[in-house]
């Protein structure tokens, strides 16, 4: 019998001295709406942010988006950062980094509505805050099927009156 095991993405925190995060309490995807995320590095050193998407049921996914240079901006739609299976119509975002220095950044959520749904566009900026936690991203891990072989019952004969000798 073969079985696969899925270990979902996890958010883990541990003590650290320099990290920053920004909470974006609401993002919308689907039903004519889309959300985008822009991260601006406000420091003079590169940052390596991790983006977390929390579904409205509390489960979450995370993705490291790579280095953003000093003064540079990363921008992408949320549905292009995460696979569709990781998204729900409503959710929230967290952007965090754990670089050695206290490197500030800002995160901007931009939301739009398709023309077919009536159109529209808006945005909100969120400043990063200091944190005493280190944020790690463990993406979904799929352990491949493992063959488990049980011996046939006729290979093991246990007499009905067998007892284990304990001292």
pLDDT of amino acid 56: 84
**Highest mean pLDDT out of 72-76, 112-116, 125-129, 137-141:** 72-76
Q: Are 49 and 126 contacting, i.e. CB atoms less than 8 angstroms apart?
A: no
Give CA angle at 164 (158, 167), nearest 5°.
Answer: 160
How far apart are alpha carbons 72 and 68 in whole angstroms?
6
Question: How buried is 85 (Cβ within 10 angstroms: 0-12 exposed, 13-18 middle, 19+ buried)?
Answer: exposed
pTM above 0.85, yes or no: no
pLDDT in tens, 25-81: 999 888 888 999 999 999 999 999 999 999 888 888 899 999 999 999 999 999 999
DSSP track, 99-111: -SS---EEEEEEE
The mean per-residue pLDDT over the stretch 7-28 comes to 65
The structural domains of the chain, with segments of one domain joined by +, span 2-155
Q: Enter the CATH code of domain 2-155.
A: 2.60.290.11
How does residue 141 score in pLDDT terms, banded at 50, 70 and 90?
low
């Amino acid at each position: 019998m073969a079985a696969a095991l899925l270990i979902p993405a996890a958010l883990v925190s541990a003590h650290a001295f320099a990290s920053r995060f920004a909470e974006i309490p609401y993002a919308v995807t689907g039903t004519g709406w889309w959300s985008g995320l822009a991260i601006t590095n406000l420091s003079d050193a590169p940052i390596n942010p991790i983006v977390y998407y929390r579904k409205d049921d509390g489960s979450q996914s995370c993705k490291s988006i790579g280095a953003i240079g000093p003064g540079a901006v990363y921008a992408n739609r949320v549905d292009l950062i995460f696979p569709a299976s990781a998204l729900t119509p409503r959710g929230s975002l967290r952007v965090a980094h754990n670089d050695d220095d206290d490197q500030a950044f800002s995160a901007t959520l931009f939301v739009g509505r398709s023309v077919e749904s009536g159109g529209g566009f808006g945005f909100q900026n969120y400043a990063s805050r200091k944190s005493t936690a280190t944020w790690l991203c463990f993406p979904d891990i799929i352990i491949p099927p493992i063959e488990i072989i049980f011996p046939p019952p006729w290979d093991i004969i246990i007499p009905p009156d067998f007892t284990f000798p304990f001292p």
